[in-house]
Amino acid sequence: MLKVFPIFFLFLQFTQLLQADPEATNMSLKMVRVLVYGGRGALGNAIVEHFKEKNCTVVSVDLAGNDHADDNIALDLKQDWAQQEAAVLSKIDGTFDGIFCVAGGWAGGNAASDEMVKNADLMWKQSVWSSAIAARIAAKHLKEGGFLQLTGAAPALDGTPGMIGYGMAKAAVQQLTKSLAASGGGLPKNSSVVALLPVTLDTPMNRKWMPDADFGTWTPLSWIAEHLYDWTTSETNRPASGTLLKITTSGGVTNTENH
């Protein structure tokens, strides 16, 4: 009897855990698998690290590998849009619970700027190419009921005269989000797509270029990573599919507004 008791005790503990919080327990027993498009950037790396801390399997897509990810897919800048799509898709198998596209960048310029078209082309490649390819990955590899996240920008809800190319690209991502969420958008059954629209993220590069800014108005990367995990593992906690989620931070407190 003494040899049987420890086994019975462990079984009893496990049964009590299931009864206490079955949804959380089911998610802990299931291996969550996600893909981070832009996994080498500041936000992408924060997401990769957070999901790894939660014992998830993470695939990173970027120009260079992320040492924390389980697998890496390298992008080739010499390829055009369709070639990049084909190359990425050829290296992916299996399904994902979540796909996050956080690739992007920033460049300014108005219509009088000599660099306007050059910068607009760069913004399109960094934000729209990546978002469209992420959508294609989701159409083929996102699980039913899965979660796709794209990255827009709060300023792109209005005119962006000082950064026209950036605003054009982010507005396109936001339109893509609405189209994917609509009936016939091509995503798997019961899946959700949401675009995050931050104002300013608290990244090392932003701190370098804006050292005198009020960092209490910048959204922490950890806030994004934690909420992506929550929305991936709990369908009931997600914003409605198609939401453009404006994210603002003031006094160190982050709030959201649906669009």
Which residues have a catalytic role annotated?
166
Radius of gyration of the chain (CA): 20
The residue type found at 79 is Q
| Contact status, residue 42 vs residue 218, Cβ threshold 8 Å | no
DSSP 212: T
| Contact status, residue 187 vs residue 148, Cβ threshold 8 Å | yes
The residue type found at 176 is L
Interatomic CA distance for residues 46 and 49, integer angstroms: 5
Interatomic CA distance for residues 13 and 1, integer angstroms: 18
Straight-line distance from the first to the last Cα atom of the chain, in angstroms, rounded to the nearest whole number? 63
DSSP string, 72-140: EEE--TTS-HHHHHHHHHHT--S-EEEEEE-------B-TT-TTHHHHHHHHIIIIIIHHHHHHHHHHH
